Amino acid sequence: MQKTFRAISLSHKSAPVEIREVIALDEGSIHSLLLKLKDFFSITDTLILSTCNRTEVYYSHEIDLNEEIIKLIGLEKGLTNVVDYMDYFKIHNDDRDAIDHLFRVSMGLEAQVVGDMQISNQVKRAYQASADLDMAGPFLHRLMHMIFFTSKRLVQETAFRDGAASISYAAVELIEELTSNTYQPRVLLIGVGEIGEDVAKNMVHIPDAKVTITNRTFERAKALADEMGFEVIPFENCFEAMKEADVIVSSIMKSEPFITKSLVSKMEIHSYKLFVDLSVPRSIETNLEEIPGVMLYNVDNIRSKATETLEKRLASIPQVERIINESIEDFFNWKKEMMVSPTINKLKNALEQIRQEEMERFLKNADEAQIAIIDKITKSMMQKILKVPVVQLRAACQRDDADKMIDILSDLFDLEKDQEKKA
């Protein structure tokens, strides 16, 4: 039975943040889930992508395992009612549909901020996690390298990746807008993972801001602070720093809220205090904005103000889609040729076996020079004999008519019988 590439997707387009944070998988959970898929279903081509905006599983298998995989995600997350979340998952059960979706996600077409460049690195890490566990076969290796090649084409040929319009940059633009009347706004960045680091680097767009960084791993925060010329404080001092800050940006991974209403209600808020939650699961309690003077934004309600950049990106979408379609066509042409590769190899082996048998039969008394000449001549003859059927097979692939040609060659040269002998 032929394998089908499929995708299971829960994203910002199908689920609100309170659902996404329940399903979101950290690195340990992804590793564990990959091993379960390998052990339970012997899946060889699998990719698990989990970001603040999406949790997706891509896999190749003969049968539809979508429901089983969603249940395994529930098991991994300790959810007894995962069936209640089924409707939030979008299923791509067709090869081309699933591959098209992975391309669109990887290029940033499906991102909350169109063209978000962070997704490229997230996809690369997901691929590396699969490769490390030997869960990326020839199919996935080829597909991912085609995706990386396509990503380079977008940079070189379009304006789709121009500018900085990621979620983190959108957060900085929001901060700039809301602190426009504040002299040297004090900004506290809590957590310097990928998004937190990106926010810190984008803070150059607010040159008069006084930025302080804190992180569980002090050395990482210090390295970034030194690079950017910001202040750094130990993580245990972040609650004191919140009292002084005008803006608090939290991007830490935590299973429960780190900044609570009871904590913030003890602070003196003279004019305003802006909280930006870039974590999934959320690290700031949603009822925080009930406190007078507090403004709270999360990944769902941040909207980019980089209109010029976004307009360029949106205008580039038809060109991006054309490049993606070209890459998908190239990939499917490769996939079709892979279907006939076993037949080509069987034919080569059958002809080589005949050649070797005849060489052995007629050259028993020949010297080395004679054997070398005959060997060269017969190899050349065999390559010329192979050329036409190989060309015809590949042409049949392009016509989606390879099955008939495979059957004809198999019958003509008794290829299946030849394989049985070897077995």
| pLDDT range class, residue 402, cuts 50, 70, 90 | low
Q: Tell me: pLDDT of 304 over 50.
A: no
What's the mean pLDDT in 303-319?
A: 73
Plot region of 115 (φ>0 → left; ψ -120 to 50 → alpha; else → beta): left
Contacts with 252 (C-beta within 8 Å, 6 or more apart), sequence order: 190, 191, 193, 196, 216, 258, 279, 283
Give DSSP secondary structure letters for 43-98. --SEEEEE-SSEEEEEEEESS--HHHHHHHHHHHHT-S-GGGGGGG-EEE-SHHHH
Asked if 238 is an active-site residue, the reply is no
Mean residue pLDDT across the chain: 87
Res. 282 pLDDT band, cuts 50 70 90: confident
How many other CB atoms sit within 10 Å of the CB of residue 254? 14
Give Cα 399 distance to the centre of its chain.
Answer: 32
pLDDT tens track for 359-376: 888 888 888 888 899 989
What does the pLDDT read at residue 21? 87
Helices 138-157, 95-107: axis angle to 10 degrees equals 40
Question: Pick the catalytic residue: 52, 113, 249, 393?
Answer: 52
> How far is Cα 127 from Cα 160, in angstroms, rounded to an integer?
23
pLDDT of 166 reads 67
- End-to-end Cα, the chain, rounded Å: 20
Cα angle 102, 105, 111; round to 5: 165
Residue 75 burial (10 A CB sphere; 0-12, 13-18, 19+): middle
- Which pLDDT score is estimated for 292? 92
**Of the given ranges (17-21, 103-107, 211-215), which has the lowest mean pLDDT?**
17-21
**What is 182-222 written as a DSSP string?**
SSS-EEEEE--SHHHHHHHHHGGGSTT-EEEEE-SSHHHHH
Question: Which contacts of 223-232 are long-range, i.e. CB under 8 A and separated by 24 or more positions?
Answer: 224/192, 224/197, 224/200, 228/200, 228/201, 228/203, 228/204, 230/200, 230/203
Q: Is the pLDDT of residue 243 over 60?
A: yes
- Name the token pair of 57: 């599983």
pLDDT at position 349, please? 85
Task: Give the model confidence (pLDDT) of 30-41 as tens digits.
Answer: 999 999 999 999
d(CA 343, CA 339): 8
Which pLDDT belongs to residue 66? Answer: 94
Confidence class of residue 305 from pLDDT cuts 50, 70 and 90? very low
